[in-house]
Amino acid sequence: MEISASGRLEVRITAADVGKRVSVRRLTDDGDTVEKFTDTVGVLTSWDDGVLLITRRAGERVRIAESTLVAGKVVPAAPARRRGPAASYEELARVAARAWRPVESERLGGWELRAAGGFTRRANSVLPLGDPGVPLDDALTLVRDWYGARGLPAYIQTSTGAEGTEELLCAHLEARGWSNEVTAELWVGALAPLADREAPEVTLSRTADASWLGRYQRKGVGEMALRVLGSGPSVWFATVPGAEGEPPAAIGRCVVDGRWAGFAAVEVDPAHRRRGLATAVMAALADRALTEGASAAWLQVETDNTAARTLYAGLGFAAHHAYHHYRWTPVEEAAEGAGPTGPAGAERDASEGAAATAPETSGGAETYRSA
């Protein structure tokens, strides 16, 4: 914390520091006679009416009464990762977007409006990389109208926890009635150690055939979904065959894009768990990506998917930043407690990555995907 020359703690931040990363210490009053202090580090997203709002790395909002502050200072942007490939938020956001392309898109300044008939939130949300070119309220009106014309709920994908992420935009959206429907993280790791692992029985293909789709967690995949699944600079699908006449024992998807290989849709039949099939699928895809010149890997995992997070941490992956899907809920819909609108499937998945909420099941499959 900030300490003056006299050795006393000092508050050296003001409302002019909104948008900067800060570290503050506040006095906690829990009824105890002993004074207790709590430290908070994050982006200062507002300072109004005597209350500070600080957004932590994972997107958690902390409200702090100005009267409880005992120290505070501006601190450097989140430190670079100590292991794994280095990358900026914008680079990873663009790589992830190219790996899961919408069927239709339109530019609004630095924002990209994306739609794919409601198949996954990531293909049906705004990616706001830059300024929309118009005032924020006007941009949000255009976004709502654009998705409304397509019979889709309006989503905006934001991020927190790295230099250049969108903590301020998150705060502005919440102040305007948008709600955070799902949070996940993008993890990165080295590719070569993963490719060195054993990958028996895994076959690779350029297309998601009927067999692969038989194991894929989302049923009734239509034309738009197939177009999204097949999108990306260099797409590969991995399959571990199951018993004769049965869906595969495991599947996975990888998109190679320059130095990056992105993993998604890793699913394992529960009857074949604890055989290392998820690792084998990723190893085979990683080996293929290495031959195409990739050296780094990324994937997405929801914060409460313990099984997937354990798997990926063991393979050398670690979190780079968090991302969130904010949904606009009309006043009348919020009052009625209505659920998301739009085509079937729009209400569940946000971004079809390599891992998601606690393992989802479809026909019993253990799933490592993101929402």
Q: What is the pLDDT of residue 218?
A: 73
Q: How far is CA 126 from CA 114, 129, 239, 310, in A?
A: 6, 9, 32, 30
Residue range 121-174, pLDDT digits in tens: 999 999 999 999 999 999 999 999 999 999 999 999 999 999 999 999 999 999
DSSP summary character for residue 242: -
Distance CA 161, CA 184 (A): 12
Is pLDDT larger for residue 34 or for residue 19?
19
Distance CA 366, CA 309 (A): 13
Distant-in-sequence, close-in-space partners of 335: CB < 8 Å, separation ≥ 6? none
DSSP, collapsed to helix, strand or coil, labels residue 227 as helix
Pair 184, 351: CB distance under 8 Å: yes
Q: What is the pLDDT of residue 346?
A: 31
Q: Which residues pair with 252 in a beta bridge?
A: 238
Looking only at Cα atoms, what is the longest distance across the chain? Answer: 78
pLDDT band, very low/low/confident/very high, at 245 (cuts 50, 70, 90): confident
Q: What is the pLDDT of residue 221?
A: 77
DSSP, collapsed to helix, strand or coil, labels residue 272 as helix
Q: What is the pLDDT of residue 2?
A: 46
Pair 355, 370: CB distance under 8 Å: yes
Pair 368, 311: CB distance under 8 Å: yes
pLDDT band, very low/low/confident/very high, at 1 (cuts 50, 70, 90): very low
In this prediction the pTM is 0.82
Q: What is the pLDDT of residue 198?
A: 87
The secondary structure of 101-125 as a DSSP string is: --SEEEEETTEEEEESTTS-SGGGS
Q: What is the pLDDT of residue 228?
A: 96
Q: What is the pLDDT of residue 172?
A: 96
Q: What is the pLDDT of residue 331?
A: 63
- Quote the percentage of the chain above a pLDDT of 70: 82
Residue range 186-215, pLDDT digits in tens: 999 999 999 999 888 899 999 999 999 999
Pair 268, 278: CB distance under 8 Å: yes
Distance CA 328, CA 331 (A): 9
Residue 32 CB neighbours (<10 A): 8
pLDDT band, very low/low/confident/very high, at 180 (cuts 50, 70, 90): very high
Mean pLDDT of 35-58: 87
pLDDT band, very low/low/confident/very high, at 329 (cuts 50, 70, 90): confident
Residue range 76-113, pLDDT digits in tens: 876 555 556 889 999 999 999 999 999 999 999 999 99
Query: 43-52, 156-165, 361-370: which has the minimum mean pLDDT?
Result: 361-370
